[in-house]
Every structure is written in C-alpha cells, then in structure tokens.
Chain A
C-alpha cells in the first residue's frame, strides 16, 4: 500500500499548502495494528503464568501505552504523542524487566544461574522441546584458588567464547549460562542435534584454552551431561538437580553423560527426592538411632557407645547419613533432627540399666546448627530432668568446625552443660586444622581420632603421626578414642600406643537399640 500510495494517495497525501493529509487507506493500518495488538494481548493472557507479575505488567503496559497514544493521536491529529508514549513504555520495560544485575554473572559476562533457572521454568511451563547441555569443571574451586580470580574468570570466558564459536559454526541456536564456581549451561533450540558429535571439537578448544593454565601446572577436568526436555525429564526441579548432581553420580572417567541414564540411578533418585524424604522422616518420625559399641582397651570390655542417626524411607529404602545430613543442614532441618536424637538418647539411657550392662555413657553428636541455639543447654537440662538421667552418662560431641565458627554461643553452652556434669569430646580429630594449643584450651574429656588417621598407620609416616598424637594427647590428659578400626592389627597397634578406647567395624557395626543391648549383654558377659 505504501509503494502504491506514491501514485494513488490511498494512505496519505502531501499537499503543497495543507501539508500531510490522511487518505482512506490509513484505516487499514489501524485495523492491522489492532489485530496484532489483540493477538499479542491474547497470547500474553494465555501464557500469563510463564511471566512474573512485573514482567506481565510491563509488557501489558507496552500495549496499553501504544494503544492509548494511537487512539489519542487519531482523535487529535495535531498532538504527536505516540512516539513519546512508545518510548516511555519501552523505558518502562528497560527499568522494570531488564535487570541484568539479577541475571548476569559479572565475573564472566555470561547470564547467571538465576537466568538459567528462570529460562528452565519458562521452558517447562511452555512445554517447549529443548536440549540442555551442562558442563561441569570438577576441579573448578581448586582452579579458582590456584589461578586467582582474574585469571580463572578470563579462562572461563575463553571457554565460553570457544564453545560459542564452535556451536555457531554448526548453525546451533543456543544460549549459554554460567554458575559459580564452574558450571556452564547451554540451552539449545536444535533438539535433534547430537551434541556428542561436537565433543571432540569442544575438547580440542578447551585444550587450546588451557595452554596457559597448564603451563602453571593446573589441569581441567570437565564432565558433560545432556538433558533432553521433555523426553528425558519432565519437570524443572529434576532438570536443575541433574545439572547440580550428575558429576557425583557418574563414573569418574565418564566424559559425556545422558540424563536418561542418570535419573534412574538410586543415588540420584534419593538426592532428587531428598526434600520429600526428609520432610516425611521428620513428620512421621522415620529416623532411628543406632548405637555402635566402644571398647575400652584398659578394661577389655565395652564401656560406651556412639549414637548414630539412620534413616530408612518406605519408598527409597536406606538413605545414607552422608546424603541426608548435608541436605538437612542445607534446608535448615538440623534442629528438629538434633532434637529427635537428643530425646531418643535420653530416653534410651533412662530405659536401660547402664551399671548392670557395664556401660558408662553414650556419645552423641551436636550439629553446628544445634550449637548455634542459645537455648541448647536449657533443652538438654530439661531432658535430663524429664528422663532422670545422670549427666555423667551423656557425652556430647562437637567438631572443630563447630567450635571455630560459633565461639561465644558454643562457649556459653559448653560452660553451662559442663557445670551441670555433662562431658564433651572433640570429633573427627585429624580431618581439619586441629592444633594442640586449641585442644588444650577446650574443656574436652575425650579426643576422637578420625578413621583417616587410623588408615594412614599403614605407612611409616602415618604411624609416626599417630604415635606422637597419642603421646601429646596423653600429656595434656585427654582420653583418646580411635574410630574406624577394622582389623586386629590396627587394634593391637593402637592398644600398644596407649589409646584408651576403640570403635569400629572390627567389633561391631552400628546396631539398633535391641540388638545393641543384646550385643553388650553377650560380650560384656552380664546377666540383666
């Protein structure tokens, strides 16, 4: 119409005197614009759940502003308000919708994980077919420390550019996202493209990127995972979880992995459903306390036990504490779980005749979250009264991390509980940055030497470390428990070094209450 207008004046004419004048065809433009706008608003309404409220509002504003301005200008042609209104509407979008500070990782310049998860949410809501590739650098955190932040992020930026170049050359339509410390996500529109074919080229690209890094003695360990939505996975949470967990589930040397294989593994199913498992366990009290006997070298019998929490889910079976405890810490569920452990142990002590069994005390772990509680000591003292338990029968374990991070609150709790007759031990000695100075200052009765140190005794240096550790502990009058003892050689060796107590599979695995009592009755040769 515009081309023909030069000859017909159907849309508009320009008069030497009157200037610009509308022709009858101008209404076709208005009708066409109205159709587009109606269709746009209709679609926006249909997909309103895909957008956040501010986004929906600002996009609607674009239509409303334009529509209002067009109507106004149609009625009052001398007022040219349309362009300024459109500009305002677009400015509105820039200010309200485009928030790069929320969606960009400024260290690499790539869109952030938040942008990725937002995009996955939209893909799942719109049920659009997409291929998602996750690249995880297994040693990203170490590389960042080793190279320094500037060099590391420049390196990641190079990797991103190289992958982008290779994929663009192959005609892929994709977007790339980065999550700290070393995950790159790609959302690829070419659903049927076999990304594994590109792996060789990408890997060569990675190698050229790392020349400088490798000259510094570092190496990179990338792992890939391909997720096809909706064929492999149909919900957003699982897509996000696969991206986060796949490298923990695959065999270490498996470079390229497919989500279809990962999501069927037991380990992933448990990790992916951890929220459900934990909430169900807390709600239905599915946790159980097991007791692992502790042997006294001096008395040659079992004198105590460590209380260990276990979880058996009705759907997923036995869930390792190594999986559910970190998840519970992350979700802030350690307080109810810790309360359950405290209550169970106090009840267990009150229900059994420890003197007849030859048991002195039960050791139980306090989590970091529990030690943060200002009222922890009050809770324990209340349990002591409720179950009429002698405080000497309870030994509370803290880890070095707990003590380092909490300071004053822990000190207050330890002081109050110590004054009331509870004893403390330091767990996992040898796994952190323990030093004798700190240990000597803590009101600790027992030091528990970690299994890794016991295992290291096979080497001569490991043996020297153990020997001197034991000597030093004895000098500052601490009792020593060695954990994770599995062989008779280890037992004999540790007994020879002067270790007081031994715990490990050599004697028994952790046992449920009844089995533990039966074990103690049998092995301590007592008749209750």
Chain B
C-alpha cells in the first residue's frame, strides 16, 4: 500500500504543472477553458484527498483522529471524484464541445 500511494504523489505535481501551464499559456478565458480548469482543480483536490487518506490509513492501528481524517478525506475524495465525470459530460453540450472559448 505504501509503495502504491506514491502514484498519488506523482499525480499532484502533474496537476499543479497543468494548472501552471494553463495560466502561463493564457488558456484560462472562455467557458470551455474554465471548465477544463475546473476539471483539473477537481482532480487535484481528489488526488490530495486520496493521498491523505492513503498515507493516514497506512499504519494500523489508527487513532480516533486518524480515523476521522480518513473519513473526511474519503468523503472529499468521493465527492470531487464523482464530480469529474459529471464535469466532462456537462462540458460538451453546454459549451458546444468547444475547446478555445
């Protein structure tokens, strides 16, 4: 489990790089760009929540504080992760599947 949690560690900087690239390349204006940025932020939050949950739950037995932390981080993970496919889907009809707006 510890070994595998590092994949989430990798995902977080990748998302940060993507957000930085969007900002630097000025791809932040227009509905479609905004939705894409929202998708990246949602992914970033769920990756961080997943990471916290994975790291916190890795060493049993868990204290009460760590149990709560795992519960909260998993709630956040499920909430934001559940939002992602919804954003992918809503992005298309609402914004006419356009990329640059």
Majority-rule SS of B interface residues: helix
Q: How far is it, in angstroms, between the C-alpha of A93 and the C-alpha of B88 when the chains are bound?
A: 12
Q: In whole angstroms, how far apart are the Cα atoms of A173 and B29 in the complex? A: 12
Cα separation A90 to B16 with both chains bound (whole Å):
11
Q: In the complex, A208→B77 CA distance in Å?
A: 50
Contact between chains at B30 and A111 (CB < 8 Å): yes
One digit per residue, 1 when the CB lies within 8 angstroms of any chain B CB and 0 when it does not, for chain A 100-127 equals 1001100001010001001100110010
Contacts of B36 in A (CB 8 A): 93, 98
**Assembled-state Cα–Cα distance A62/B39 (Å):** 11
> Which residues of chain B from 8 to 44 have any CB-CB distance to chain A below 8 Å in the complex?
8, 10-11, 14-15, 17-18, 21-22, 25-27, 29-31, 33, 36, 39-40, 43
Q: Report Cα–Cα, A98/B22, bound state, in Å.
A: 9
> Per-position contact with B for A50-67: 1 when CB-CB < 8 Å, else 0?
110001000100110010
Scan B57-101; emit 1 where CB is below 8 A from any A CB, else 0. Answer: 110111000010011001100110010111011001100111111
Option from B21, B79, B99, B101 in Cβ contact (under 8 Å) with A175:
B101
B97 touches A50 (CB 8 A): yes
Residue of B whose beta carbon sits closest to that of A93: B36
Q: How far is the CA of A225 from the CA of B50 in the complex (A)?
A: 52
- What 0/1 pattern do residues 1 to 32 of A give for CB contact below 8 A with B? 01001100001101111111000000001001
Binding stretch for chain B, among A38-46, A248-256, A307-315, A319-327: A38-46
- Inter-chain CA distance A111–B88, complex, in Å, is 23
A82 to B29, CA, bound (A): 28
Nearest B residue (CB) for A43: B92
- Chain A residues with CB under 8 Å of B47's CB are 83, 86-87
Q: How far is the CB of B17 from chain A (nearest CB, A)?
A: 8
A20 and B79: CB pair below 8 A? Answer: no
**Residues of B contacting A463 in the complex (Cβ-Cβ under 8 angstroms):** none
Residue of A nearest to B98 (CB): A122
With both chains docked as a complex, state the minimum distance between the C-beta of A126 and any C-beta of chain B, in angstroms. 5
How far, in whole Å, are A84 and B27 apart by their CA atoms in the complex? Answer: 23
Interface residue count on the A side (C-beta < 8 Å): 60
A522 interface contact, C-beta 8 A: no
A179 to B79, CA, bound (A): 43
Partner of B89, one of A36, A79, A91: A36
Contact of A109 among B26, B82, B86 (CB under 8 A): B26
A90 touches B100 (CB 8 A): no
Contact with B97, one of A12, A47, A86, A100 (Cβ below 8 angstroms): A47
Q: Which residues of A contact B82 (CB under 8 A)?
A: 29, 32-33
Query: Bound state CA distance, A59 and B88, in angstroms?
Result: 9
- Report whether A66 and B26 are in contact in the complex, using a CB–CB cutoff of 8 Å: no
Interface centre among A19, A32, A111 (most CB of B within 10 A): A19
Q: Are A40 and B50 in contact (CB under 8 A)?
A: no
Candidates A12, A82, A83, A119; contact of B101 at CB < 8 Å: A119
Minimum CB–CB distance from B64 to chain A (whole Å) comes to: 9
Verify if A78 is at the interface (C-beta below 8 Å from B). yes
* C-alpha spacing A91/B101, complex, angstroms: 19
Does A90 lie within 8 Å of B1, measured CB to CB? Answer: no
Q: Are A98 and B27 in contact (CB under 8 A)?
A: yes
Interface residues of A, Cβ cutoff 8 Å to B: 2, 5-6, 11-12, 14-20, 29, 32-33, 36-37, 39-40, 43-44, 47, 50-51, 55, 59, 62-63, 66, 78-84, 86-88, 90-91, 93-94, 97-98, 100, 103-104, 109, 111, 115, 118-119, 122-123, 126, 128, 173, 175, 187
The interface of chain B, by Cβ under 8 A from chain A, is 1, 4-5, 7-8, 10-11, 14-15, 17-18, 21-22, 25-27, 29-31, 33, 36, 39-40, 43, 46-47, 50, 53-54, 57-58, 60-62, 67, 70-71, 74-75, 78-79, 82, 84-86, 88-89, 92-93, 96-101
Q: List 13 A-B contacts (CB under 8 A).
A: A12-B74, A14-B74, A16-B67, A36-B88, A66-B84, A83-B7, A83-B43, A87-B10, A87-B43, A90-B39, A91-B18, A100-B27, A115-B100
In the A-B complex, the 5 residue pairs with the closest CB atoms: A19-B57, A36-B85, A40-B89, A87-B14, A83-B11
Known A32-B82, A83-B46, A90-B18; 6 more pairs at CB < 8 Å: A18-B60, A40-B88, A78-B4, A82-B50, A90-B14, A100-B27
